[in-house]
């Protein structure tokens, strides 16, 4: 049965560079809050958007915000000029952000991420300081408890012997 | 004419559809409501398996469980 790690593995195998952000990054850093979507940040140039969709073809990606449109294919004209790519696939929801508001574009995240292994799948994950900065910038009510928790975790990790 | 211009606009695929507060992902809710209870539970349990993998990845990276001690099992 295919599931989320297979989606990450497929992106890696296709040499798509990305950084895991959002709720999954928060869980990796110790958040107890559960969100049921996978958010990543990646370059969304037309060329890269085509590569992403090509590598996800077997998982039948669809435009999440336009569910009545046919599945997304690499020749879709809608892959031009995307700011974000909100997809629903056979393996679940995948939100691909072209940049992180208040932090920067994907290119700015290379040295603001850590390398972790989701089982046998190695991925870059947004580092804790940058995740906190992104959530603080977003300023949404729903982020406030998560932000408070992440700041608590950061303080705890800074304590000697943590 | 205006209506024709509007019809020729490509559909917005890269803008999140939210409620007026901007806090709720309306599409995500609609999708969940389109599932049966059994499908929702299956989706939830699959996701929780992935959450455990993400937590294990965090433990491996930090060399400890980074969760607040009162919440860690």
Q: Is B41 helix (H, G, I), strand (E, B) or coil?
A: helix
Contact A15, A128 (CB under 8 A): no
Q: Using an 8 Å CB-CB cutoff, list chain A residues near B27.
A: 64-65, 67, 86
* pLDDT tens column, B24-41: 999 999 999 999 999 999
pLDDT at position A154 = 96
Q: Using an 8 Å CB-CB cutoff, list chain B residues near A77.
A: 10
pLDDT at position A159 = 83
Contact A125, A113 (CB under 8 A): yes
CA distance A62 to A42: 18
pLDDT at position A135 = 94
CA distance A57 to A73: 7
Q: Using an 8 Å CB-CB cutoff, list chain A residues near B58.
A: 27-30, 116
CA distance B71 to A132: 20
B66 closest CB neighbour out of A30, A36, A86: A30
Is some CB atom of chain B closer than 8 A to the CB atom of A140? yes
Cβ distance of A157 and B68 shorter than 8 Å: no
Residue A54 has pLDDT above 70, yes or no: yes
Average pLDDT over residues B42-69: 93
Sequence-distant (≥ 6) Cβ neighbours of residue B19 within 8 angstroms: B26
Residue A143 has pLDDT above 50, yes or no: yes
Average pLDDT over residues A52-79: 96
- Closest CA in chain A for residue B32: A36
pLDDT at position B1 = 45
Region at A104 (left for phi over 0; alpha for psi -120 to 50; beta for the rest): left
Minimal CA separation from B37 to chain A, in Å: 16
Minimal CA separation from B70 to chain A, in Å: 11
Residue spans of beta strands (DSSP E) within chain A: 19-21, 38-41, 62-63, 84-89, 92-97, 99-100, 104-105, 113-118, 121-126
pLDDT at position B2 = 47
* pLDDT tens column, A7-47: 999 999 999 999 999 999 999 999 999 888 899 999 999 99
Percent of chain B's residues with pLDDT above 90:
64
Is some CB atom of chain B closer than 8 A to the CB atom of A151? no
pLDDT at position B26 = 93
* pLDDT tens column, A82-111: 999 999 999 889 999 999 999 999 999 988
Minimal CA separation from A120 to chain B, in Å: 10
CA distance A98 to A58: 23
Is some CB atom of chain A closer than 8 A to the CB atom of B4? no
Average pLDDT over residues B41-70: 92
How much is the ipTM here?
0.91
Residue A128 has pLDDT above 50, yes or no: yes
- Closest CA in chain B for residue A63: B13
């Amino acid at each position: 049965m295919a599931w989320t790690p297979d989606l990450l593995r497929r992106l890696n195998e296709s040499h798509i560079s990305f950084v895991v952000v959002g709720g999954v990054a928060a869980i990796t850093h110790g958040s107890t809050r559960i969100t049921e979507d996978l958010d990543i940040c990646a370059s969304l140039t037309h060329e890269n958007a085509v590569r992403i969709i090509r590598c996800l073809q077997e998982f039948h990606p669809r435009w999440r915000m336009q569910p009545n449109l046919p599945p997304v294919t690499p020749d879709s004209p809608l892959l031009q000029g995307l700011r974000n790519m909100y997809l629903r696939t056979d393996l679940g929801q995948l939100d691909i952000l072209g940049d992180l508001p208040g932090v920067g574009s994907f290119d700015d995240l290379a040295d603001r991420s850590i390398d972790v292994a989701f089982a046998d799948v190695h991925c870059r994950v947004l580092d804790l300081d940058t995740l906190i900065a992104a959530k603080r910038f977003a300023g949404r009510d729903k982020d406030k408890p998560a932000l408070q928790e992440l700041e608590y975790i950061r303080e705890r990790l800074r304590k000697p012997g943590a | 004419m205006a209506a024709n211009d509007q019809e020729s606009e490509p559909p917005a695929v890269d803008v999140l559809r939210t409620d007026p507060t901007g806090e709720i992902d309306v599409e995500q809710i609609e999708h969940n409501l389109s599932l049966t209870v059994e499908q929702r539970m299956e989706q939830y349990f699959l996701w929780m398996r992935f959450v455990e993998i993400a937590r294990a990845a965090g433990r491996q990276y930090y060399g400890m469980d980074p969760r607040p001690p009162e919440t860690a099992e």
